[in-house]
């Protein structure tokens, strides 16, 4: 049976409430911002500031300031890009990798508290549906892209 309009409305309300609470938690938490930056840099191995800005949806000047802080703290190295001398490449240092691991552990401890009264199977089911939702979202975006721009744009 397909979900009806009210089912979808309730899901959207819950999802947007969750997103908003995450945004509020990140806003006043420099460690959360640092964790996101370190995760992205680690995932790429090395990354240009423009790529970081695009991935995070922020202005490059914001990334420049954040990377300067990471560099001053010894978490990243910044070197000239061999292919484009107008740009640079950002890499994690050993210290940055250690901070990434420490912040990841802190985050996991915190999320463990959120689901402390859940059964393991509930956590697995929730994870399954989060991944399924993301896959469905990507598939819908592909279908829309194949059909042209949505009418509301």
Tokens of residue 54, six digits: 């695009």
Residue 26 binned pLDDT confidence (cut-offs 50, 70, 90):
confident
User: Is pLDDT at 85 greater than 80 in this prediction?
Assistant: no
Let me know whether 43 and 75 are in one domain.
Answer: yes
Residue 64 lies in a domain: yes
Distances from the Cα of 69 to the Cα of 4, 112, 113, angstroms: 48, 29, 30
Let me know whether 44 and 54 are in one domain.
Answer: yes
Distances from the Cα of 134 to the Cα of 1, 23, 79, angstroms: 21, 19, 35
Structural domain boundaries enclosing 139: 116-148
pTM above threshold 0.85: no
Residue 152 binned pLDDT confidence (cut-offs 50, 70, 90):
low
Q: What 3 state SS string does 26-87 have?
A: HHCCHHHHHHHHHHHHHHHCCECHHHHHHHHCCCHHHHHHHHHHHHHCCCEEEEECCCCCCC
Instruction: Give the domain CATH number at 58.
Output: 1.10.10.10
Let me know whether 33 and 99 are in one domain.
Answer: yes
Classify residue 118 by its DSSP letter. Answer: S
Distance CA 133, CA 15 (A): 11
Residue 5 lies in a domain: no
Let me know whether 61 and 96 are in one domain.
Answer: yes
Residue 32 binned pLDDT confidence (cut-offs 50, 70, 90):
confident
């Amino acid at each position: 049976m397909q979900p009806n309009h009210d089912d979808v409305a309730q899901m959207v309300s819950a999802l947007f409430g969750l997103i908003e609470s995450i945004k509020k938690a990140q806003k006043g938490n420099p460690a959360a911002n640092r964790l996101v930056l370190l995760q992205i840099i680690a995932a790429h191995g090395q990354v240009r500031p423009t790529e970081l800005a695009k991935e995070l949806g922020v202005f490059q000047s914001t990334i420049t300031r954040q990377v300067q802080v990471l560099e001053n703290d010894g978490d990243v190295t910044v070197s000239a890009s061999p292919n484009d001398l107008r740009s640079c490449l950002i890499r994690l240092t050993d210290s940055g990798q250690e901070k990434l691991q420490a912040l990841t552990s802190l985050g996991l401890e915190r999320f463990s508290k959120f689901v402390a009264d859940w059964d393991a199977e509930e956590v697995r089911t929730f994870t399954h549906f989060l991944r399924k939702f993301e896959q469905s979202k990507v598939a819908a975006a592909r279908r829309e892209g194949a059909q042209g721009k949505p009418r509301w744009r």
